[in-house]
Amino acid sequence: MMEEKPQEKVGRMVERAIPDRIGIWAQSSGQMLEDSLVKASQKGDMLAFNRLVLKWEKTVFNIALRMLKEREDAAEATQEIFFRAYRNIDRFRQTSRFSSWIYRIALNHCISRIRQKPPGIHLSLDEPNGAVNPPKQLRVTETQLDHLMRSEERDRVLGALEYLSPEQRAVVELKFFQGMTFEDIAGILEIPLSTVKSRLYTGLEILKVHLAEKA
């Protein structure tokens, strides 16, 4: 086998690096564009805000659909979420990402809508005094449910979300459907990290029970 020339080796390294560089540049460019759209929206540019809506409306609708369960409710909630975002866009500070801000508005709005409906079937997460009561034994793991979310059982998992409290559903949404870290979730929902973990693991236990019943 002929020994590879130094310039050929360098050439291959450059070729492998180009896609990574392009990805980084594209991501950076996309973030800069979004930042500029936010700034323009804060100055009253309706066209700029409409471009933000076009970028995020599918994500927001899907969040609302998983939280509220009904397409009509989700569509109505999506309009209300963006209307609320537009009214408050001047309060957004670009020390955080726009995505985190719109997630917070969407989930808080959906939780409010759920609370306005007759109570559903779900496990109470918090004690009457507001203290978090985490499960003593966490038998189900993130990895187990993550596998279910990516398998043919996905529809059953989505159906079982109705058994979670709105707060638990919000954490599951951010963790499994938006791919957030515990720290990201705590920041978006403005709750302690320990509360995020408690809500997630309690929610996973509930999902595990109801998925077993329907198996």
Span 118-176, pLDDT tens digits: 655 444 444 343 333 444 444 445 555 555 555 546 677 778 888 899 999 999 999 98
Q: What are the residue ranges spanned by the domains of the chain? A: 19-116, 142-214
Type of residue numbered 189: L
Place of tokens 């659909």: 65
Average pLDDT over residues 188-206: 93
Name 200's Cβ contacts closer than 8 Å, sequence gap at least 6: 142, 168, 171, 172, 175, 182
Place of tokens 């999506």: 78
Average pLDDT over residues 169-195: 94
Name 91's Cβ contacts closer than 8 Å, sequence gap at least 6: none
Q: How far is CA 112 from the centre of its chain?
A: 17
Tell me which residue of 108, 102, 214, 87 sits closest to 169, measured CA to CA.
108
CATH architecture, domain 142-214: Orthogonal Bundle (1.10)
Supply 131's token pair: 């203290």
CATH of domain 19-116: 1.10.1740.10
Has residue 195 got a pLDDT over 90? yes
